[in-house]
Amino acid sequence: MEQSRAAPRLQVVLGHLGRPSARAIVGHPTSGTISSASFHPQQFQYSLDNNVLTLEQRKFYEENGYLVIKNLVSDADIQRFRNEFEKICRKEVKPLGLTVMRDVAILKSEYAHGEKMITKVQDFQEDKELFRYCTLPEILKYVECFTGPNIMAMHTMLINKPPDAGKKTSRHPLHQDLHYFPFRPSNLIVCAWTAMEPIDRNNGCLVVLPGTHRGSLKPHDYPKWEGGVNKMFHGIQDYEENTARVHLVMEKGDTVFFHPLLIHGSGRNKTQGFRKAISCHFASADCHYISVKGTSQENIEKEVGGLANKLYGIANTVDLKDIWMFRARLVKGERTNL
Protein backbone atom coordinates (compact mmCIF):
# COMPACT_ATOMS: atom_id res chain seq x y z
CA MET A 1 0.00 0.00 0.00
CA GLU A 2 1.28 3.45 -0.86
CA GLN A 3 0.97 4.87 2.64
CA SER A 4 3.00 7.96 1.79
CA ARG A 5 0.29 9.04 -0.67
CA ALA A 6 -2.72 7.80 1.28
CA ALA A 7 -1.96 9.74 4.46
CA PRO A 8 -1.76 13.20 2.80
CA ARG A 9 -4.94 12.49 0.89
CA LEU A 10 -6.79 11.64 4.09
CA GLN A 11 -5.42 14.81 5.64
CA VAL A 12 -6.84 16.81 2.72
CA VAL A 13 -10.24 15.23 3.31
CA LEU A 14 -10.05 16.13 6.98
CA GLY A 15 -9.21 19.68 6.02
CA HIS A 16 -12.25 19.94 3.78
CA LEU A 17 -14.44 18.70 6.58
CA GLY A 18 -13.41 21.57 8.78
CA ARG A 19 -14.22 19.38 11.81
CA PRO A 20 -17.40 21.18 12.91
CA SER A 21 -19.88 20.06 11.80
CA ALA A 22 -33.36 -21.34 12.51
CA ARG A 23 -34.59 -23.27 9.69
CA ALA A 24 -32.72 -23.47 6.44
CA ILE A 25 -34.40 -22.47 3.17
CA VAL A 26 -32.85 -22.15 -0.26
CA GLY A 27 -33.15 -18.59 -1.45
CA HIS A 28 -34.62 -17.47 -4.75
CA PRO A 29 -35.19 -13.99 -6.25
CA THR A 30 -38.87 -14.08 -5.32
CA SER A 31 -41.16 -16.59 -3.70
CA GLY A 32 -44.75 -17.17 -4.58
CA THR A 33 -47.13 -15.19 -6.74
CA ILE A 34 -47.95 -11.66 -5.69
CA SER A 35 -51.22 -10.07 -6.64
CA SER A 36 -50.93 -6.48 -7.78
CA ALA A 37 -54.34 -5.85 -6.24
CA SER A 38 -52.94 -6.61 -2.76
CA PHE A 39 -50.23 -3.95 -2.82
CA HIS A 40 -50.32 -0.29 -3.76
CA PRO A 41 -47.37 1.93 -4.82
CA GLN A 42 -47.90 4.37 -1.94
CA GLN A 43 -47.09 1.54 0.46
CA PHE A 44 -43.51 1.14 -0.76
CA GLN A 45 -40.94 2.27 1.82
CA TYR A 46 -37.71 0.58 0.74
CA SER A 47 -37.70 1.08 -3.04
CA LEU A 48 -38.39 3.96 -5.39
CA ASP A 49 -40.76 4.28 -8.31
CA ASN A 50 -39.06 2.95 -11.43
CA ASN A 51 -39.65 0.91 -14.56
CA VAL A 52 -36.91 -1.64 -13.83
CA LEU A 53 -38.35 -3.82 -11.07
CA THR A 54 -41.54 -5.73 -11.58
CA LEU A 55 -44.27 -5.31 -8.98
CA GLU A 56 -43.48 -8.82 -7.75
CA GLN A 57 -39.76 -8.02 -7.33
CA ARG A 58 -40.47 -4.73 -5.63
CA LYS A 59 -42.89 -6.22 -3.15
CA PHE A 60 -40.46 -9.08 -2.45
CA TYR A 61 -37.76 -6.56 -1.51
CA GLU A 62 -40.21 -4.59 0.63
CA GLU A 63 -41.16 -7.70 2.58
CA ASN A 64 -37.78 -9.44 2.75
CA GLY A 65 -35.07 -6.79 2.43
CA TYR A 66 -33.17 -8.48 -0.40
CA LEU A 67 -33.57 -9.39 -4.06
CA VAL A 68 -31.50 -11.74 -6.23
CA ILE A 69 -31.08 -10.92 -9.93
CA LYS A 70 -29.86 -13.94 -11.87
CA ASN A 71 -26.93 -13.85 -14.31
CA LEU A 72 -26.49 -10.09 -14.04
CA VAL A 73 -22.68 -9.75 -14.39
CA SER A 74 -20.93 -11.32 -17.37
CA ASP A 75 -18.32 -14.07 -17.20
CA ALA A 76 -15.89 -11.76 -19.00
CA ASP A 77 -16.19 -9.05 -16.34
CA ILE A 78 -15.85 -11.57 -13.53
CA GLN A 79 -12.69 -12.96 -15.11
CA ARG A 80 -11.24 -9.45 -15.30
CA PHE A 81 -11.94 -8.91 -11.61
CA ARG A 82 -10.37 -12.25 -10.81
CA ASN A 83 -7.25 -11.41 -12.85
CA GLU A 84 -6.84 -8.09 -11.06
CA PHE A 85 -7.24 -9.71 -7.65
CA GLU A 86 -4.50 -12.19 -8.54
CA LYS A 87 -2.22 -9.29 -9.54
CA ILE A 88 -2.85 -7.69 -6.15
CA CYS A 89 -2.00 -10.98 -4.44
CA ARG A 90 1.26 -11.17 -6.41
CA LYS A 91 1.94 -7.51 -5.51
CA GLU A 92 2.14 -6.57 -9.17
CA VAL A 93 -0.27 -3.71 -8.48
CA LYS A 94 -0.61 -1.74 -5.24
CA PRO A 95 -3.73 0.42 -5.33
CA LEU A 96 -3.73 3.50 -3.12
CA GLY A 97 -5.72 3.04 0.09
CA LEU A 98 -6.38 -0.68 -0.41
CA THR A 99 -6.97 -2.68 2.76
CA VAL A 100 -5.75 -6.28 2.63
CA MET A 101 -7.16 -8.73 5.17
CA ARG A 102 -6.13 -12.21 6.23
CA ASP A 103 -8.02 -14.89 8.13
CA VAL A 104 -7.00 -15.06 11.77
CA ALA A 105 -6.45 -18.83 11.49
CA ILE A 106 -3.83 -18.54 8.73
CA LEU A 107 -2.40 -15.13 9.61
CA LYS A 108 0.98 -16.50 10.69
CA SER A 109 1.08 -19.61 8.54
CA GLU A 110 4.34 -20.20 6.72
CA TYR A 111 2.54 -22.32 4.14
CA ALA A 112 0.05 -19.71 2.91
CA HIS A 113 1.26 -17.40 0.16
CA GLY A 114 -0.29 -15.08 -2.40
CA GLU A 115 -3.95 -15.76 -3.07
CA LYS A 116 -4.04 -18.37 -0.30
CA MET A 117 -3.03 -15.77 2.28
CA ILE A 118 -5.38 -12.91 1.32
CA THR A 119 -9.01 -13.44 2.27
CA LYS A 120 -10.40 -10.01 1.47
CA VAL A 121 -9.43 -6.73 -0.17
CA GLN A 122 -11.54 -3.68 0.51
CA ASP A 123 -11.48 0.01 -0.34
CA PHE A 124 -10.41 -0.66 -3.92
CA GLN A 125 -11.80 2.68 -5.12
CA GLU A 126 -8.37 3.62 -6.54
CA ASP A 127 -8.03 0.39 -8.52
CA LYS A 128 -9.54 1.24 -11.90
CA GLU A 129 -10.04 -2.38 -12.90
CA LEU A 130 -11.84 -3.54 -9.75
CA PHE A 131 -13.76 -0.27 -9.43
CA ARG A 132 -15.31 -0.98 -12.82
CA TYR A 133 -17.70 -3.23 -10.89
CA CYS A 134 -19.17 -0.16 -9.19
CA THR A 135 -19.82 1.54 -12.53
CA LEU A 136 -21.30 -1.36 -14.49
CA PRO A 137 -24.56 -0.13 -16.08
CA GLU A 138 -26.29 -3.41 -15.26
CA ILE A 139 -25.45 -2.93 -11.57
CA LEU A 140 -26.34 0.77 -11.42
CA LYS A 141 -29.65 0.15 -13.17
CA TYR A 142 -30.82 -1.81 -10.15
CA VAL A 143 -29.04 0.30 -7.55
CA GLU A 144 -30.99 3.33 -8.74
CA CYS A 145 -34.21 1.53 -7.78
CA PHE A 146 -33.17 1.94 -4.14
CA THR A 147 -30.98 5.06 -4.02
CA GLY A 148 -32.37 7.27 -6.74
CA PRO A 149 -30.36 8.76 -9.65
CA ASN A 150 -27.51 10.36 -7.66
CA ILE A 151 -25.36 7.41 -6.62
CA MET A 152 -22.26 7.23 -4.45
CA ALA A 153 -20.07 4.13 -4.16
CA MET A 154 -19.26 4.00 -0.44
CA HIS A 155 -17.60 0.70 0.39
CA THR A 156 -15.96 -1.86 -1.89
CA MET A 157 -14.88 -5.44 -1.22
CA LEU A 158 -13.63 -8.50 -3.01
CA ILE A 159 -14.04 -11.47 -0.67
CA ASN A 160 -11.87 -14.56 -1.05
CA LYS A 161 -13.38 -16.81 1.64
CA PRO A 162 -10.73 -19.43 2.43
CA PRO A 163 -11.17 -23.13 3.14
CA ASP A 164 -11.87 -23.34 6.86
CA ALA A 165 -8.75 -24.25 8.79
CA GLY A 166 -10.75 -26.27 11.31
CA LYS A 167 -11.52 -23.46 13.74
CA LYS A 168 -14.61 -22.17 11.90
CA THR A 169 -12.99 -18.75 11.52
CA SER A 170 -14.12 -18.53 7.89
CA ARG A 171 -17.64 -17.86 9.17
CA HIS A 172 -18.98 -14.32 9.28
CA PRO A 173 -21.27 -13.63 12.26
CA LEU A 174 -24.80 -12.40 11.69
CA HIS A 175 -24.69 -8.63 11.44
CA GLN A 176 -26.24 -5.51 9.93
CA ASP A 177 -24.07 -3.48 7.59
CA LEU A 178 -25.49 -0.20 8.90
CA HIS A 179 -23.40 -0.80 12.03
CA TYR A 180 -20.37 0.32 10.01
CA PHE A 181 -21.98 3.32 8.28
CA PRO A 182 -22.20 6.89 9.69
CA PHE A 183 -24.67 8.07 7.06
CA ARG A 184 -28.43 8.05 6.75
CA PRO A 185 -31.22 7.51 5.83
CA SER A 186 -30.80 3.74 5.74
CA ASN A 187 -33.53 3.28 3.14
CA LEU A 188 -31.37 5.06 0.55
CA ILE A 189 -28.46 2.61 1.01
CA VAL A 190 -28.13 -0.74 -0.75
CA CYS A 191 -25.46 -3.38 -1.21
CA ALA A 192 -24.79 -5.14 -4.52
CA TRP A 193 -23.05 -8.50 -3.91
CA THR A 194 -22.09 -10.65 -6.92
CA ALA A 195 -21.05 -14.29 -6.87
CA MET A 196 -17.82 -14.82 -8.82
CA GLU A 197 -18.43 -18.59 -8.95
CA PRO A 198 -21.17 -21.00 -7.86
CA ILE A 199 -21.85 -20.45 -4.16
CA ASP A 200 -23.78 -22.77 -1.86
CA ARG A 201 -23.80 -23.95 1.73
CA ASN A 202 -20.68 -26.04 1.20
CA ASN A 203 -18.43 -23.06 0.43
CA GLY A 204 -20.16 -20.56 2.70
CA CYS A 205 -23.01 -18.80 0.94
CA LEU A 206 -24.74 -15.77 2.39
CA VAL A 207 -27.48 -16.45 4.91
CA VAL A 208 -30.16 -13.81 5.46
CA LEU A 209 -32.98 -13.34 7.97
CA PRO A 210 -35.84 -12.10 5.77
CA GLY A 211 -37.79 -9.11 7.01
CA THR A 212 -35.24 -8.00 9.59
CA HIS A 213 -34.58 -4.84 7.60
CA ARG A 214 -37.84 -3.53 9.06
CA GLY A 215 -36.28 -3.49 12.53
CA SER A 216 -33.74 -1.18 14.14
CA LEU A 217 -29.96 -1.19 14.29
CA LYS A 218 -28.87 -3.60 17.03
CA PRO A 219 -25.75 -3.45 19.23
CA HIS A 220 -22.79 -5.27 17.68
CA ASP A 221 -19.60 -6.69 19.12
CA TYR A 222 -17.21 -9.58 18.59
CA PRO A 223 -18.84 -13.00 19.06
CA LYS A 224 -17.28 -15.27 21.64
CA TRP A 225 -16.02 -17.96 19.27
CA GLU A 226 -13.42 -20.38 20.57
CA GLY A 227 -11.51 -20.51 17.29
CA GLY A 228 -11.13 -16.75 17.06
CA VAL A 229 -12.82 -14.00 15.08
CA ASN A 230 -11.47 -11.96 12.18
CA LYS A 231 -10.77 -8.25 12.57
CA MET A 232 -13.93 -6.12 12.52
CA PHE A 233 -16.21 -9.16 12.12
CA HIS A 234 -18.70 -7.74 14.60
CA GLY A 235 -21.98 -9.56 15.13
CA ILE A 236 -25.33 -8.63 16.64
CA GLN A 237 -25.67 -9.57 20.28
CA ASP A 238 -29.41 -10.15 20.56
CA TYR A 239 -31.45 -11.86 17.89
CA GLU A 240 -34.07 -14.55 17.93
CA GLU A 241 -32.18 -17.74 17.09
CA ASN A 242 -35.34 -19.43 15.84
CA THR A 243 -35.92 -16.78 13.18
CA ALA A 244 -36.25 -18.32 9.71
CA ARG A 245 -33.04 -18.18 7.68
CA VAL A 246 -32.59 -18.26 3.92
CA HIS A 247 -29.36 -19.57 2.40
CA LEU A 248 -28.69 -17.77 -0.87
CA VAL A 249 -27.51 -20.40 -3.32
CA MET A 250 -26.15 -18.43 -6.28
CA GLU A 251 -24.57 -19.10 -9.65
CA LYS A 252 -21.65 -17.19 -11.15
CA GLY A 253 -22.82 -13.68 -12.06
CA ASP A 254 -25.92 -13.74 -9.84
CA THR A 255 -26.23 -10.56 -7.79
CA VAL A 256 -28.12 -9.93 -4.57
CA PHE A 257 -29.19 -6.43 -3.59
CA PHE A 258 -29.95 -5.98 0.10
CA HIS A 259 -30.87 -3.36 2.69
CA PRO A 260 -28.23 -2.28 5.27
CA LEU A 261 -30.46 -3.29 8.21
CA LEU A 262 -31.01 -6.81 6.90
CA ILE A 263 -29.44 -9.31 9.31
CA HIS A 264 -27.09 -11.56 7.36
CA GLY A 265 -23.83 -13.48 7.59
CA SER A 266 -22.15 -16.47 6.00
CA GLY A 267 -21.18 -19.99 6.97
CA ARG A 268 -17.77 -21.57 6.96
CA ASN A 269 -16.16 -22.79 3.76
CA LYS A 270 -16.13 -26.58 3.99
CA THR A 271 -14.47 -27.07 0.59
CA GLN A 272 -10.82 -26.98 -0.40
CA GLY A 273 -11.26 -24.05 -2.73
CA PHE A 274 -11.62 -20.30 -2.19
CA ARG A 275 -15.09 -18.77 -2.53
CA LYS A 276 -15.02 -15.37 -4.27
CA ALA A 277 -17.55 -12.55 -4.42
CA ILE A 278 -17.31 -8.86 -5.23
CA SER A 279 -19.50 -6.18 -3.70
CA CYS A 280 -20.15 -2.50 -3.25
CA HIS A 281 -22.36 -0.56 -0.87
CA PHE A 282 -24.06 2.31 -2.62
CA ALA A 283 -25.88 5.29 -1.11
CA SER A 284 -27.85 8.20 -2.45
CA ALA A 285 -25.73 11.32 -2.73
CA ASP A 286 -28.60 12.98 -0.88
CA CYS A 287 -27.74 11.04 2.28
CA HIS A 288 -26.04 12.90 5.12
CA TYR A 289 -23.35 12.03 7.63
CA ILE A 290 -24.16 11.61 11.31
CA SER A 291 -22.11 11.50 14.48
CA VAL A 292 -22.04 8.07 16.14
CA LYS A 293 -20.82 9.44 19.47
CA GLY A 294 -22.87 7.96 22.29
CA THR A 295 -24.47 5.34 20.04
CA SER A 296 -24.05 1.59 19.62
CA GLN A 297 -21.69 2.33 16.70
CA GLU A 298 -19.06 4.00 18.87
CA ASN A 299 -17.11 0.75 19.28
CA ILE A 300 -16.56 0.35 15.54
CA GLU A 301 -15.58 4.03 15.25
CA LYS A 302 -12.84 3.54 17.84
CA GLU A 303 -11.57 0.45 16.03
CA VAL A 304 -11.55 2.13 12.62
CA GLY A 305 -9.80 5.17 14.09
CA GLY A 306 -7.14 2.95 15.57
CA LEU A 307 -6.59 1.26 12.24
CA ALA A 308 -6.25 4.62 10.46
CA ASN A 309 -3.65 5.62 13.01
CA LYS A 310 -1.74 2.38 12.46
CA LEU A 311 -1.84 2.51 8.65
CA TYR A 312 -1.43 6.22 8.00
CA GLY A 313 -0.08 7.70 11.22
CA ILE A 314 -3.28 9.72 11.63
CA ALA A 315 -4.12 10.54 15.24
CA ASN A 316 -7.12 8.88 16.87
CA THR A 317 -9.10 12.10 16.43
CA VAL A 318 -10.23 10.64 13.09
CA ASP A 319 -13.89 9.72 13.30
CA LEU A 320 -16.02 7.34 11.26
CA LYS A 321 -17.34 10.18 9.11
CA ASP A 322 -13.82 11.13 8.04
CA ILE A 323 -13.03 7.60 6.89
CA TRP A 324 -16.18 7.26 4.81
CA MET A 325 -15.68 10.64 3.17
CA PHE A 326 -12.24 9.43 2.15
CA ARG A 327 -13.75 6.32 0.54
CA ALA A 328 -16.82 7.79 -1.17
CA ARG A 329 -16.92 8.11 -4.96
CA LEU A 330 -19.66 9.52 -7.18
CA VAL A 331 -20.60 6.97 -9.85
CA LYS A 332 -23.76 8.49 -11.30
CA GLY A 333 -25.61 11.79 -11.21
CA GLU A 334 -24.70 14.75 -9.02
CA ARG A 335 -22.98 14.85 -5.64
CA THR A 336 -24.91 16.65 -2.91
CA ASN A 337 -24.52 15.88 0.81
CA LEU A 338 -22.22 12.87 0.79
pLDDT tens for the chain, 338 residues: list them.
444 455 544 444 444 333 333 333 344 444 333 444 455 555 899 999 999 999 999 999 999 999 999 999 999 999 999 999 999 999 999 999 888 877 655 555 544 455 667 888 999 999 999 999 999 999 999 999 999 999 999 999 999 998 887 777 777 889 999 999 999 999 999 999 999 999 999 999 999 999 999 999 999 877 776 655 556 667 897 777 778 999 999 999 999 999 999 999 998 999 999 999 999 999 999 999 999 999 989 888 888 777 666 666 665 667 888 888 888 999 999 999 99
Query: pTM here?
Result: 0.85
Contact yes or no for 171/271 (Cβ under 8 A): no
Nearest to 300 by CA among 281, 319, 280: 319
Q: Please check whether residue 268 is in contact with residue 202, taking contact to mean a CB–CB distance below 8 angstroms.
A: no
Closest C-alpha to 82, from 194, 171, 247: 194
End-to-end CA gap in the chain: 26
- Residues 257 and 143: beta-carbon distance below 8 Å: yes
Q: Which CATH architecture has domain 58-332?
A: Sandwich (2.60)
For the chain, give the longest Cα–Cα distance. Answer: 62
Residues in CB range of 299: below 8 A, 6 or more apart: 220, 221, 234
CA-closest candidate to residue 275, choices 162, 193, 168, 165? 162
